[in-house]
Amino acid sequence: MSESESNLVVTDATPTTLDAYNDEVNNSGSFRLYLGDDKRNLDCRFYEAKYPEIESLVMVNVRTIADMGAYVSLLEYNNIEGLILLSELSRRRIRSINKLIRVGRNEVAMVLRVDKEKGYIDLSKRRVSPEDVAACEDRFNKAKAVHGVLRHLAERRKYRLEELYERIAWPLYKRYGHAFDAFKIALAEEQTTTATSQEEDPFASLDVPDDVITELKLYIRRRLAPQPIKIRADVEVSCFTYDGIDAIREALFAGIAVGGTENSSIKIRLIAPPIYVLSTMTLEKEIGIALLQKAIDVILSKISEKGGKMDVKMAPKAVSLKEETELQAMMERLELENREVEGDEPEVRVVVIIDDLVVMVDERSMRVLLSNFMCNFLTLRRHALLLNSYESLC
């Protein structure tokens, strides 16, 4: 561009269609469209802060392992790079770094230093306790679910994901502590049969068009619908009085009757006498635990009236698929052990006369006696042959 062209001043200009569209969008409160095909509009961090705070916990993904330590990506902060120093990997002596950390695995780390100008972030793995790991994983899973909902909306409508965060997620983080909790409240509010006021809707205060909110709620129902949780408890019920098994049966049926409805039914299965498993499926963990605890109290009351007793081997708790698989394997093993085999048949008794002494032995003992007899017989015969050979030589 020449010097004369650079000094030109624009005194009149005709607005284009794109300029008019952007002005209309800004005035109406709608979202701007992203017309590129590179999907750069889908890149955004989970939280409003661009960098994590010092001593906060972050979820990272290990990218490479070098002499200085492990280079990682901070998953909650748009995959910005961080470094876990070699001295911050473990409190113990490091014999093999590959046993402590592996490329591609997600780890929980603590932020030690943040240089916002240069973008350096130093992290530590050895300062993270098991309780911190559980809390960080829970927070990350919630934030990841929120991110998935907003990313789906941005991809379908060609919006910028960061703009959705600015106008939907980050205000909900400030108001409810976590946007995931606001999504759950909105989901529960839709499922209630009673009419609720608009103030109870978490999205009512957001400056977002109604059609966007409607689509957002639709995808929240699909993505965050509550999944049934299995609650289980193990008990040992026994009764050695006259009523015996009838008392146990009556007490267990009383525990089953606590469930009542189809949505809160209780099932009781026998593992191996006198151990029984109580289980129920529920959408709310606390409600399911309280239901099984009530059933246990009823069983204890009923069996105590008949002179029996009950011990709780495992208190009511939510169980995973792995624990259920182990329980099923144990029940199959016990069933196999209790199944009748050839050894369960009545023993065969044999009468043997030894030196005018009558002895009754089983079949196995008879085989042992015959085996010993044959060994002794063959030994005597061999000694006799040797003696005959010696006499013939003489």
Other beta carbons within 10 angstroms of residue 22's beta carbon come to 13
Alpha-carbon dihedral angle through residues 43, 49, 55, 61, given to the nearest 10 degrees: 0
The CATH homologous superfamily for domain 57-127 is Nucleic acid-binding proteins (2.40.50.140)
Least Cα distance to 55 among 102, 1, 152, 123 occurs for 123
How many whole angstroms from its chain centre is CA 188?
Answer: 23
In the chain the first and final C-alpha atoms are separated, in Å, by: 135
The span from the CA of 159 to the CA of 30, in Å, is 10
Which fold, 14-43+129-226? DNA polymerase; domain 1 (1.10.150)
Who's near 277: CB < 8 A, 6+ residues apart?
A: 232, 233, 234, 268, 269, 270, 271, 327
- CA distances 176 to 7, 59, 78, 111, 172, Å, are 54, 22, 23, 25, 6
Is-same-fold flag (14-43+129-226; 229-331)? no
Sequence spans of domains, the chain: 14-43+129-226, 57-127, 229-331
Find, among 372, 274, 284, 46, the residue nearest to 180 by Cα: 46
Both tokens of residue 20?
A: 């008019």
Query: Which CATH number fits the domain 229-331, given the four candidates 1.10.3080.10, 1.10.530.10, 3.40.50.300, 3.30.70.1130?
Result: 3.30.70.1130
CA angle 23, 25, 30 (to 5 degrees): 160
Task: Encode the chain (394 residues) as per-residue pLDDT tens digits.
Answer: 444 444 433 334 344 444 444 444 444 557 777 777 777 888 899 999 999 999 999 999 999 988 888 999 999 999 999 999 888 888 777 777 777 888 999 999 999 999 988 888 999 998 999 889 989 999 999 999 999 999 999 988 889 999 999 999 999 999 999 999 888 888 877 665 444 444 468 888 888 888 888 888 888 888 877 778 889 999 999 999 888 889 999 999 999 998 866 667 899 988 888 889 999 988 778 888 999 999 999 999 999 998 999 999 888 988 876 777 777 777 777 667 666 555 555 554 544 454 444 445 555 555 555 555 554 544 545 544 544 554 554 4
